[in-house]
Structures are given as C-alpha cells and as structure tokens.
Amino acid sequence: MKILKHKGAIAAVVIVLVIAGAAAAMNARTGTVPNVTTAEVTRGDFVDYIQIRGDIRPAKSIVLAAPLQAGGELQIVKLVKNTAAVKKGDIVVEFDATSLEQRLQERRSELKTADGEIEQALAQAKITEEQQSTSLMKAKYDVERAKLDLGKRDLISRIEFEEAKLALADAEQRLKEVQAKGGSTTVGSNAELLGKKRKRDKAQLDVDRTTSSIEALHLRAPADGTVNILENPRTGGMFGGGGVEFREGDRAWAGASILELPDLSSIHLEARLDESDRGRLKVGQTATVKIEAVPGKDFAARVDLISVLARVDFSSGWPPVRNFDLGLVLSDPDPRIRPGMTATARISADRLPNVTLVPAEAIFQKDGRPVVYRLNGSKFDEQSIEITRRGREQAAVGSGVKPGDRLAVRRPEPDLIRKKG
C-alpha cells in the first residue's frame, strides 16, 4: 500500500513538471509581441512597378500667342482666369494698345487731310475746266467772226481784206493755243489728282494696318473650350522650370505663347524617365495613373511615347541628370481633369506568376547576403533568403520564408533577435 502511494506521488510530480514545462514553452512562444512594425509574407504574382511623376497635358491644343506684327514687348492688360470656360470669339487676352491708338488717330488725321486735298483738287479742276471751256468758246467765236469779216471781200478795201486775213490767222492760232493749253491743263490736273489719290490710298492703308494691329492685340478664342494659362518662362530658374503662369501686368515678347485651349477628349501624362529604367519599358505597356486633384479614382493608361535620345535635365540640381521623355495616354478621361495637374503613374515592368512575395522594406543586407527577421513569439529569428527577382516594392523569394510569416520592416534591436544555437 505504501509502495502504491509512493508511485502515485512520483507520478503527480512528473505530471506537474510536464505541465510546467509546456507552460514555459508556450509562454516563450506567446510572450509579449515586440513593438516592431511587421509585414506579412504572401503568395501571388510578382509585379515590379516603375513609379513616375509627371504633368497632365492634352494631346492636342490650340495655342494663342502674342502677335508677331506688333514688334517689341507687349503688356498684358486683361487675361481670362485659368480654367475659365470660353466661347468661340470671346476675348481671352488683351494687350496694351495705347501707342497704337495714338498712331491710329494720327493716321486718321492724315487720311482726313488727304480726303480734303482731293476734294480741293477736284473743285479746282472743275473751275479750271470751266475757264478752259469759256476760253475755248471765245476762241472759236473769234475764228468764226474773223471768217465772217473775211467774207466781205467785195465790200471792203484790199487793205481791210488783208487785215481780215491776218485776224483770222490770229484767231485760228489762238484757238489752237487754247485747245493745247486745255489738254495740258487737263493732263496736269489729272496727274495732280492721281497723286493726291495715291496719298489718300496710302493714308487709308496705314489706318487699316494700324486698326488691324490693334485688333491683333485682342486675342479671341478660335473655338469653345477651357482656358489653360501657360507658364511665363521669365519667372522660372536659370535652367527653366519653377515658373508661374502669365498674369495681368506681365510683359510678353512678340510670338510668346500665352495660353492654350486644350482638347480634353485626349489626355496625356508627360513625365521624365530615368536612364536606368529606359530599357525596362516599351510602348504599349499598361499603367495606372493617380491624379492628385482627382482623388479616389485610378485611371487606366498605356505608354505611347518613349524618346529615343536622352536629354540633360538641369532642373534637378547639379550635376544634371539625363532623362528620357515618356508619354502615357489616358483611356478614360474625366471632365475634372485639367492640363497642368500633377499625376503619378505606376507601370508594370516585370511579372512572375504564383511566387512567394516579401516586401522590399523587410529585406536587409548582412555580410553581403540578404536576410529577413521573422517574428517567432516575442523575438525575431534572423533568416537568410534566396531572392529570385527584386523590385522596388517587393521581391520574389525562392526559399527562406513561407506565406503567413511576419517580417520586421526595420532591423530589430539586438536584444529582440534570438541567438542561434
């Protein structure tokens, strides 16, 4: 009986020890989770995205510029508001026309003077014509009278007859002189009138040209649309960029582009592509675009332009970087989209189906090899991994972790890393 009691006591002690050991092991695994942010390992398709920022631009637009014929600099006195809706024929930009209006008044005064000179010349020509007509009638009358006197040959003496012959010759000569003078006077009057008409035509041309120049200082919308005020290059940095749009009071040079009326039926995202990413993209690839001014909506897009040659970008500082021009066309435009809005595009550059995925921020380097810190109870196990493909946001991993593992996204403190062995 005593032996049985002794064996029972031993068995009770063993059971207590087993329970205590299990509790200790469980406590080790289910201890307090460290205050370290973690991310979960998943399984799915590996997609390496290239993310770029750019500006929304219309595929087509009508650009309105300061008139070339004006010459010199022009001051903007009136300018419609950016994003304003306008109708065809509305004045959208008005430049200062003070000097041209003064010149127009001078030209109109010259035109009025020229008109007065023509009227005066016409009146003088009419008086001269009447005088010539009177002189011609008198000369003809003198000739006829001389002929009548010459017809009295039988009634007058020989001397009077000879005098009559001389009088007829004088009258006929005077008639010729009057006719000749009348012709030359008419030619002279016509020439003078023609000169004054030419002067008047020139004055009218100057008035028309000045009026046209004044009208050219009023830029009108060639079609219905929404106004997009362009950047004034003079307000930017030394190498361009960072400028502000044209405003009332600004001075613009002849030919300067002031605003545009974009065709919002076709919208592009224009951006700069880093030289290292140029070979990873091609025309036709799809993308997702987020526009900051249109929150809560993703826009589908595709790459439709990658420049062949890189160009130096001085706006990013020194030394300058070399970028390629990248264009994406949005397939589903939205009426809220406006040119100049900032947008971000995510373009799928690489894809692997059904692989183990680890967030890129959870991968660290140690002794030249990639490692992760996997949560195990209240501490982390340092684990080497094999990376199949690595992107900017995630990596495809061949071994070392499995879906469901939680990994630290920053390197844990040494006391939170479980020592091996």
251 CB contacts (<8 Å, ≥6 apart)? 73, 74, 75, 76
Q: Kindly state the percentage of the chain with pLDDT values over 70.
A: 86
Give residue 206's pLDDT band: very low, low, confident or very high (50, 70, 90). Answer: very high
Q: How far lies 120's CA from each of 110, 130, 197, 210, in Å?
A: 15, 15, 12, 27
User: Which of 36-40, 41-45, 144-148 is predicted with the least confidence, judged by mean pLDDT?
Assistant: 144-148
Q: What DSSP string runs through 325-348?
A: EEEEEESS--TT--TT-EEEEEEE
Of 285, 226, 231, 222, which is closest to residue 256 (Cα–Cα)? 231
Contacts of 89 (CB under 8 A, 6+ apart): 220, 221
The whole-model pTM stands at 0.51
> If you average pLDDT over residues 128-137, what whole number do you get?
81
- Is 1 a residue whose pLDDT tops 70? no
- Could you tell me how far CA 149 lies from the centroid of its own chain? 96
Helix 98-150 / helix 158-216 crossing angle, nearest 10 deg = 170
Least confident of 188-202, 260-274, 315-329: 315-329
Question: Considering only CA atoms, which of 19, 32, 120, 27 is closest in space to residue 378?
Answer: 32
pLDDT score at 373: 95
Higher pLDDT, 152 or 294: 294
State the virtual CA torsion across 29, 33, 34, 35 in degrees, nearest 10: 170
Does pLDDT of 21 surpass 50? no
Residue 19, token pair as written in the block? 């329970």
pLDDT higher than 80, residue 164: no
Q: Which amino acid is at 178?
A: V
Query: Bridge partners of 366?
Result: 369
Report how far residue 56's alpha carbon sits from residue 270's, in angstroms, rounded to the nearest whole number.
6
Kindly tell me if the per-residue pLDDT of 22 is higher than 80.
no
**260 C-beta neighbours (distance < 10 Å), count:** 21
Cα(404)–Cα(83) distance, integer angstroms: 50
Contact 288, 252 (CB under 8 A): no
Which has the higher per-residue pLDDT, 159 or 18? 159
pLDDT in tens, 269-309: 888 888 878 888 889 888 999 998 898 899 999 999 898 88
Q: Is the pLDDT of residue 26 over 50?
A: no
CA 128, distance to chain mean position in Å, is 66
- Top-confidence range, 48-57, 140-149, 184-193: 48-57
Q: What is the DSSP string of 61-118?
A: EEEEE--STT-SEEEEEEEPPTT-EE-TT-EEEEE--HHHHHHHHHHHHHHHHHHHHH
Angle at the Cα of 177 from the Cα atoms of 174 and 181, rounded to 5 degrees: 140
Q: Summarize the confidence of residues 414-418 as an average pLDDT.
A: 88
Residue 335 has pLDDT above 90, yes or no: no
What's the mean pLDDT in 218-240? Answer: 82
Task: Give the closest residue to 38 by CA, choosing from 383, 386, 389, 359.
Answer: 359
Tell me the mean pLDDT in the region 319-345.
85
Q: What is the pLDDT of residue 263?
A: 79
* Percent share of the chain, pLDDT over 90: 34
Sequence-ordered list of residues with C-beta below 8 angstroms from that of 20, at least 6 positions apart, any chain: none
DSSP 46: E
Confidence of residue 51 (pLDDT cuts 50, 70, 90): confident
Q: Give the pLDDT confidence score for residue 127 in this predicted structure.
A: 85
